[in-house]
Structures are given as structure tokens and as C-alpha cells.
Amino acid sequence: MKIAKFGGSSVADAQQILKVVEIVKADPARRLVVVSAPGKRFSGDIKVTDLLIALANAVIAGRPYDDELSVVVGRYAEIQQALGLDTAIVQEIEADLRERIKNRSSNPAQFADTVKASGEDNNAKIIAKVFVNQGVPARYVDPKEAGMLLSDDFGNAQVLPESFENLATLKDQKDIVIFPGFFGYTRQGHVATFPRGGSDITGAILAAAVKAEVYENFTDVDSVFALDPRVLPGAPAIKLLTYREMRELSYAGFGVFHDEAIIPAVRAKIPICIKNTNCPAAPGTMIVAERKYEHGEITGIASADGFSTISLSKYMMNRELGFGRRLLQILEEEQLSFEHVPSGIDNMSVVLRSAPFTPEKEAHVLNRLQTELGVDDVTIEHGMSLVMIVGEGMRYAVGIAAKACAALANAGVNIEMINQGSSEISIMFGVKEVDRKQAIQALGHALLKVDK
């Protein structure tokens, strides 16, 4: 049995939904279909989830909300008309939304979740009808009825362990199951949603629950590329990668998945296949627990901006017991999560994401570090990019760092930090943001043999 999850752009309008029907029909193993809310139909379009958030905000603020409501209903009406479905379905959707608003909770986050969840819920209902109209026996399954139980962290809910056993029974459904992504119910029976993009989580949970042979994640790209083709055209597609490689690549900016989204599938060792709704014949990219690899082979090169470095120096630091602990303690108290801590004899640097630093926060943290750690010098520098070279084949391979460093040197890129060791399958470089593009291109030429 396969789980087929279709993201927002794959179910954005009637034409896309018909492609979904054809894809599911083409493989009898595709028995469980998870769908998102209608996404963007063209660049600049607005996702239904965002329209629903605007609607919920208007209601919470006590403003008139008829305009927001009619835009949402209009999106479904277009789908209904284009597919010649009964108009009653649009009336039901409007009534459903008004009902959710009428019975609203006084907790704004809880209420917003109820409204947001309607995007996937109503889309799943429509899509189940389209399947039936096209002669494919299918049925919408309510996450409540199926036992998708979540914690009550509204907008950021986590799956509860008993859900897996509950959902395992979906295996025995005779018709194809159309299951809405993104939400479930708390033990008290309230709607709760995962974080944004959470339909991927629903798919991964179902895949683990029914022990699927594969979790197919349909989106709008043919495959994952070894390097961002916008930065270096000609980068090869990745056919196969491991969960570990994907995790390292997505850490440094590969937008494949929200890596937390697929934890249930990773834990259950379910292979994940990324495929294109608009080109289902393309093989896509497969993500697996283990794979064979060539010695020295590089799988991908990723990069991300937005990092800062705090550099501390103190004479005789290496002899001072507890320095690192006190430093990290201060960062913890300041709610700053650290990414890397390269260190020397009398120096230590901490690489963090730049986003939490306001000028006030920066001054406050530097002052604490200076006074509480008694350092000789402490500075902070912003504007760093992390560049990661990733590949299972890098284990025990000699000379990759040398080749990478030579390529960066030839391109005139200064390496501010290098980190190899903790993970055997990646090398990380810190470079200035202004040098990032050049760094990636140089590494792509040297290590992935992309010419041009």
C-alpha cells in the first residue's frame, strides 16, 4: 500500500485535481490519499490557508468578514463549476464555515485552527466527490472518525502516540481513502492543526501507521537537485538519498521538506518518494534509510544565509574549567539556540541564527558575556552563510576538503569557518553572505562536475 500526498499546488484547481485522479488510478497500490487545501494556481496567487487566516483574524478582531468568507467560498465554487459538481457542495462549504465561526471558542488560537483546518477538510470532501464522479470508488475520511489525535498546542500540535494504532485500521478500507492533511483532534474533541505545511506530517503519520511500502509526496518539481539550479544551471537531479543526507541538506536551505515533518516516516523506515503531479512519469527523488554509494561521491551542496558569529577570546581559556558551560548557559537564559561552537586554545566562537538579534538584544548579550565570563574580547559579526557539502560517500574518502578548499580559494572566497568531523557525511563552511553564490558555483564545478 502506498500513501500519496498531494500538496497545495497539486490540488489548487479543477485541472490539477483531475491530474490527481489520474495519478491515483494509474497505480492500484495508491489506496490512501492525503490532500492539502487549494494552494497557489499562479505566482502571486493566495493559498486558501492564507485566505482562511485572514478570515479568522477578521472574526477575532470583530471586523465584518463577509468579503474574506466569500473569497474562500469562491475558490471552491470555481472548482465545483469547472468539474460540473452539484452546487449543493458549495452551499455546504459556506454553511460549514459559518458554523465554525458561530461556535467559536474564546481561545483565539483554537478558533483560528478550526477555521484553518476547513481548507483541507472541505477540499478532501470535494476531491472524494470528483473521484466518485470519475468512476473511482473513494471516500472522504474524517480525521476524528479515524482517530488522528493531537496535543492541544493549537497551531503547533504534535501527534499523540495512540493515533498510530487508531489509523492503522485505514488499511482495511475497501474504497480509496481521501484524507485531509494538516489537522486532527485533541482528546477533548477540538480541532488542532500542525504547523504550516503540516499536510506532509499527516502523510508521514499515515505512512507509519499502515506501514506503507512508500510515502509518495507529490509536489510541483520533478526531483530534488544536487545544487540549486537557479544558482548553477545544469546541476544534476538526485535520484536517491538517505534520510541523513536529506536532513543535512535541508538544514542548510534545501527546501524539500520541513525535516520535522517526516519524522514518523523516518522512524518507521518508510521510503519517501518526491514526485511531480505535473509530470508523474518522471522517477522523482527517493529518500531511504540506507543506500549503496560510490566511494567519494557527493550527493548535494546546500547553503543558507542568516547566521551570526559571536567570537570570544580569553587568555588561558583552555585551562578554565566550566567556561563553555557558562557560555552556553547564558545563551540558554537568553533563549538563543546555538548551531555550532568551533573553538581554539584561547578562543571560542558560537554560530547562531541572526534572526533573534535586535540591536538591544545584541548589546545586552555581549554585555553579559563580557562581564560574567570575564573575557578579554567579545564581538559579534553578522552576514554569514553556511555552505554544506553532503554525501554518504564522503565517509573515509580522502581529499574532499582539500578539493573544496582549493575551489573556494581559486574563486577568491575566504573561509570563515570550517566544520568537519561530527558528522561523517558532511563538511560545512562558513563564508560571507556576499560570497555565497560564488562559493556554491565553485564547489558545483569542482565537486559535482557541473560545467558551464
Residues found near ligand ASP in the complex (CB under 6 A): 7-8, 36-37, 47, 49, 119, 181-182, 196-200
Q: CA–CA separation, 56 vs 252, rounded Å?
A: 34
Give the nearest distance from C-beta 47 to ligand ASP in angstroms. Answer: 5
**What are 117's three cell numbers?**
483546518
Query: Residue ranges of the alpha helices (H) in 243-391?
Result: 243-251, 263-267, 323-333, 359-373
Shorter beta-carbon distance to ligand ASP: residue 37 or 176: 37
Shortest Cβ 262–ligand ASP spacing (Å): 12
30/116 with CB nearer ligand ASP: 116
CA distance 155 to 153: 6
- Gap between the Cα atoms of 256 and 272, Å rounded: 11
What's the closest the beta carbon of residue 258 comes to ligand ASP, in angstroms? 9
- Cβ-contact 47, 13 below 8 angstroms: no
Rounded to whole angstroms, what are the CA distances from 21 to 25, 28, 47, 355? Answer: 6, 12, 21, 42
As measured in angstroms, the least distance from the Cβ of 321 to ligand ASP is 47
Phi-psi region of 322 (alpha: psi -120 to 50; beta: other; left: phi over 0): left
d(CA 418, CA 405): 10
Cβ proximity to ligand ASP, 273 vs 384, nearer residue: 273
Residue nearest to ligand ASP (CB): 199
Nearer to ligand ASP among residue 175 and residue 220 (C-beta)? 220
**Angstrom distance (rounded) from CA 74 to CA 89:** 12
- Which residues are paired to 191 by β-bridges? 185
Instruction: For the CB of residue 51, give the shortest distance to ligand ASP in the complex, in Å.
Output: 10
| 49/186 with CB nearer ligand ASP | 49
Q: Which is nearer to ligand ASP, 36 or 242 (CB)?
A: 36
As measured in angstroms, the least distance from the Cβ of 2 to ligand ASP is 19
